[in-house]
Amino acid sequence: MEILLSVLIGLALAAACGFRVFVPFLVVSIASASGHLDLTPGFEWIGTTPALIAFAVATALEIAAYYIPWLDNLLDTIATPVAVVAGTIVAASVVQEVSPLLRWTLAVIIGGGVAGTVQVATATLRVGSSATTGGLANPAVSTGELGGSVITSVLAVIVPVVAAALVVLLCAVILRKLRRVRLFRRQSRAD
């Protein structure tokens, strides 16, 4: 049961990395430092005071940068591969009581995959927002992404089953929307 819970925590935290890269690390650092979350051996550094300070500063800078109109789209370009790596690392940091091979396999497939899926969806949403509103709605998109990251990260630590269920639902919705877009494009080309 512990293994399953740690995988669910990793899944939810990885999804949160798709919204914002540093928010989940800050939440994990706070939860670890306060004794609410045990980290996998080798990842204890995430719960140290210097890491907590670094994650707090990085989170503040990331949040602020997403409210700068031209920088938000540029950050999405950079954030996509970074989110995959961050999702992999944060998932590996909490998946416990398994062999390193299984831990990293789960981290790459589940953590990186979910973080990448969420990040691509948010980047697509931002591009659509920029194209349709000239970027005027992008602060609202940024606020929604920040809220999604904070809520998902906190739920991952407090109620991982609920957080993981929400992530699975979110990924299903994202994949369904992407499939519709692809079908629409095919029909448009055929016409």
pLDDT per residue as tens digits for the range 75-104 = 888 888 999 999 999 999 999 889 999 999
Say how many domains are in the chain.
1
SS (H, E, C) 109-140: HHHHHHHHHHHHHHHHHHHHHHHHHCCCCHHH
What pLDDT band is residue 132 in, cutting at 50, 70 and 90? confident
Q: How many CB atoms lie within 10 A of CB 128?
A: 12
What pLDDT band is residue 174 in, cutting at 50, 70 and 90? confident
Q: Which residue has the higher pLDDT, 190 or 39?
A: 39
Q: Which of 11, 179, 150 is nearest to 93 (CA)?
A: 11
Q: What tokens appear for 3 in the block? A: 């293994």
pLDDT of 66 higher than 80: yes
- Mean pLDDT rounded to a whole number for the chain: 90
CB 116 within 8 A of CB 87: yes
Q: Which residue has the higher pLDDT, 129 or 107?
A: 107
pLDDT of 106 higher than 70: yes
pLDDT of 150 higher than 90: yes
**Domain coverage including residue 140:** 2-190
In this prediction, residues 148-167 reach a mean pLDDT of: 95
Q: Is 135 left (phi over 0), alpha (psi -120 to 50) or beta?
A: left
What are 34-54's pLDDT values in tens digits? 999 999 999 999 999 999 999
CB 22 within 8 A of CB 62: yes
What are 14-39's pLDDT values in tens digits? 999 999 999 999 999 999 999 999 99
